[in-house]
Amino acid sequence: MMLYRKYIKRGLDIVFSIILIIGLSPLLLIVWVLIRLNSKGSGIYKQERVGLNKEPFYIYKFRTMVLGADKFGPASTSNKDSRITKLGKVLRKTSIDELPQIFNILKGEMSFIGPRPDVPQHLPMFSEKHLLKRLKVKPGLTGLSQVNGRSSISLADRIAYDEEYADSLSFVMDVKIIMATIRKIFIKDGVN
């Protein structure tokens, strides 16, 4: 397990992120252009998050909200938020807005599988015990919380799933999470 956690997982992240960046580059470019044509501002949204060992990093997403939305509303959003653009609703529903995080994975700030990274302002919601467990693994594009309810689960359940992943991280678990994620994306289960 330690060999997988320390070396193999990172190697797989590098290989698959390069393959996906190359394979998805036409889609990434088209989405970026559509965002630029449909609303003012950058096609990419950057937000500070907390990663492995409490290291801050900037997560990349396709921008789904009007320019400056973070200045006039809450940080968390629902699919009925008026700040979300029409194109943004489609990108969120299909999870395409998350694809730029493949670059975070290639840079080593994230992994394909792990607890979702939080904004620094959310850290006080978690116990020190939980943070010690959760932040000993890289944050991920998807994880146990996402395949077990995503944003519809309670904070307590999310914490339990994050801790379970940190304690039980393995190749087999990662494969199961990837398969469950693919299934959820195609049936749009839990995708807002």
**pLDDT band at residue 141, thresholds of 50, 70 and 90?**
very high
- Residue corresponding to tokens 């999470």: 177
**pLDDT band at residue 31, thresholds of 50, 70 and 90?**
very high
DSSP 116: P
**CB 140 within 8 Å of CB 152:** no
**pLDDT band at residue 129, thresholds of 50, 70 and 90?**
confident
Between the alpha carbon of residue 130 and those of residues 20, 51, 81, 119, 147, the distances in Å are 32, 14, 31, 16, 20
Q: What is the pLDDT at residue 72? A: 63
Q: What is the pLDDT at residue 140? A: 97
Among 11-25, 77-91, 139-153, name the most confident range: 11-25
Say if residue 74's pLDDT is above 70. no
Phi, psi at 49, each rounded to 5°:
-135, 170
**pLDDT band at residue 188, thresholds of 50, 70 and 90?**
low
Query: In angstroms, rounded to a whole number, what is the distance separating the alpha carbons of residues 169 and 5?
Result: 7
Query: In angstroms, rounded to a whole number, what is the distance separating the alpha carbons of residues 153 and 119?
Result: 18
Say if residue 123's pLDDT is above 70. yes
Which has the closest alpha carbon to 111: 147, 132, 134, 142?
A: 142
Say if residue 192's pLDDT is above 60. no
6 CB-contact burial (10 Å; exposed 0-12 / middle 13-18 / buried 19+) = exposed
**pLDDT band at residue 132, thresholds of 50, 70 and 90?**
confident
**CB 107 within 8 Å of CB 9:** no
Report the pLDDT averaged over residues 52-61: 96
Q: What is the pTM of this model?
A: 0.89
Say if residue 75's pLDDT is above 60. no
